[in-house]
Chain A
């Protein structure tokens, strides 16, 4: 177990990343998501250190293991892995992002289930990307509004920015 000490004297112990090599292929990713969603906020002063450890697990264990499956020929295993990745990409696209470069290849596979899941994951990535874009534009829009009210930009420039924002929102 990997031990994290908190300033209040408490201790949190998480499974060792080496042990995760023996786990079912999708489990390390589920583990990371589980800890982030349900427990991380309760870790107090150890939160940052645990976050760093979870990132290590993601980079060193979870993603490489998934990739080894996606690059293989066992369709049953690929479907199992993609089902979990789809669930994760819906909730947290960033976490599943490292597999995006394999999607083109998966979409060309001769297996309906694999193609269907790959499409869904692609869709979830696109949705997440649009959300990110929108958040960026919203900030730009707020600045433009401020400048417009202060008379530093004209109506035409403001209307152009507003149109861009609304188009993206729709």
Chain B
């Protein structure tokens, strides 16, 4: 039987205060000045990317004419070249360079794949069309053998051109959805994200065609899970509390993270994350916050350093009297991952976050967002979220 709901009024004053501070300041913490020992990546338009590509090919040709032994230089993406920039709280690529020779047996397969991807990128840019990573793999299955090889070459090409992967017109398959107080344009079509039903708008990976045209939202809520998104969408949460809801169904892919970054930067809105109180939820939050190691060269375009961890926090479990029977014991793997998280500089820097992870380790307990429905299906939308946004009970 559904629990009886007590109707309370919440004014979201803590969130509003933050929002007005951002609006007054005119920008959020997203204009990043990179430290000197890191690689600078530019988000380029089609013409600029083509220009860089031609320049790179010209350099290779020149080496062929001069020495007959061409090579390509690109930033190293190995673990030793990934730097945590404490100032900006971002994972960035260092200045180590690797050289790939055309004439050595060890790199010949690699360089052939690289040149094939360059050829594909050239075609995509010239035609002004986009392709998914899977499509690129299918352009030459015999050469790539496995998709992980073509994926690696795609990322190498982007870093070689010192640009984002999206600028090369190679995109991820659409994954996330967005709904709420937002109007965008996709080429010449105006799309109202309030009027698309509870399914929302599938975030287009072709973000170069997208522009934000209007919004009266006051905050953005990033949700880990579809089920929670469905609950909020069904309640039309954004009508009572002016916001934009976004989910990536797990870890955000490039398009979702880039779109979130643009929303946060252009609309100067506070961003909150709602994830499970477990190590995977914390990892998802960290990827939005400071980027992933694999795509560290794109971090300035993908990370949202002002994102706050709204919930679900381990400390919330007692505060909101979440019953013991919906709390889940941590596995050995969960404990290992939580301990690993506590080794990370960016976690230790945030005392409240580290304390909450320590609490989960002490209790050896994790919980999903859905555990809140032990208090009724509307508890999440009518009490938990509004109360936390009113009192400012978040981390970050």
Contacts and interface: CB of A to CB of B under 8 A. Distances in A.
Contacts of A38: 192
A19 interface: yes
A166 interface: no
* Interface magnitude class on chain B: 20 to 34
Contacts, number: 48
B214 interface: yes
A14 B211 CA distance: 11
Interface in A1-57: 1, 3, 5, 9-15, 19, 23-24, 26-27, 30-31, 34-35, 38-39, 42
Nearest to A38: B192
Q: Is the interface of B mostly helix, strand, loop or mixed?
A: mixed
A11 B213 contact: no
B188 A10 contact: no
A65 B212 CA distance: 20
Given A1-B266, A1-B267, A3-B23, A13 B215 contact: yes
Contacts of A31: 185, 190, 213
B185 A23 contact: yes
Interface in B206-235: 211-216, 218
A19 B211 contact: yes
Nearest to B190: A34
B218 A35 contact: no
Nearest to B182: A13
Contacts of B192: 38
Contacts of A13: 214-216, 267
A11 B185 contact: no
B66 interface: no
A10 B185 contact: no
Nearest to B45: A22
Interface of B: 16, 19, 23, 183, 185, 187-188, 190, 192, 211-216, 218, 242, 266-268
Q: Which 9 A-B residue pairings sit nearest by Cβ, starting from the closest? A: A15-B213, A24-B188, A12-B216, A13-B215, A34-B190, A14-B214, A27-B188, A1-B266, A13-B267
Interface of A: 1, 3, 5, 9-15, 19, 23-24, 26-27, 30-31, 34-35, 38-39, 42
Given A1-B212, A10-B216, A31-B190, 18 more contacts: A1-B215, A1-B266, A1-B268, A5-B23, A9-B16, A11-B23, A11-B216, A11-B218, A13-B267, A14-B214, A15-B212, A15-B213, A15-B214, A23-B211, A24-B188, A26-B188, A34-B190, A42-B216
